[in-house]
Amino acid sequence: RVVDLSALVMKEDAAVWVVDVHVTCLNHGGNLEDASMLAVLSALVDTKLPAVEMKENDVMAEVEGDSVPLVIQSFPISHTFALFDFGDVPVKVLVDPTDE
């Protein structure tokens, strides 16, 4: 897991943060998955949760104080490779190929 899920708990058995990430692609020339993964990870690293406290009856209230960065446990990196096998010539490896 990339995000430490226990860090999203505001109050045990009562309230947790929910993190949704949406990626919109307007155009691409290849490696959409690699670019999307990097964009999502960059957004998660930059995410800060507001400082909150739980009041009576499980009512959440934002309090003055420093926001808390999202706890990132790992940072997976996606890479795309293309292999070209021309028979008697050694296999060629192309990193980050386009869709052409």
Looking at the structure of the chain, the number of domains it has is 1
Does any domain span residue 87?
yes
pLDDT tens for 80-99 read 999 988 888 888 998 888 87
Range of 13's domain? 5-95
Does any domain span residue 100?
no
Sequence-distant (6+) residues with CB within 8 A of 89 are none
Q: What pLDDT does residue 58 have?
A: 67
Does any domain span residue 29?
yes
Using DSSP's 3-state secondary structure scheme, residue 64 falls into: coil
Query: CB count, 10 Å around CB of 70?
Result: 19
Does any domain span residue 79?
yes
**Which pTM was predicted?**
0.74
pLDDT tens for 24-60 read 999 887 788 999 999 999 999 999 988 887 777 766 7
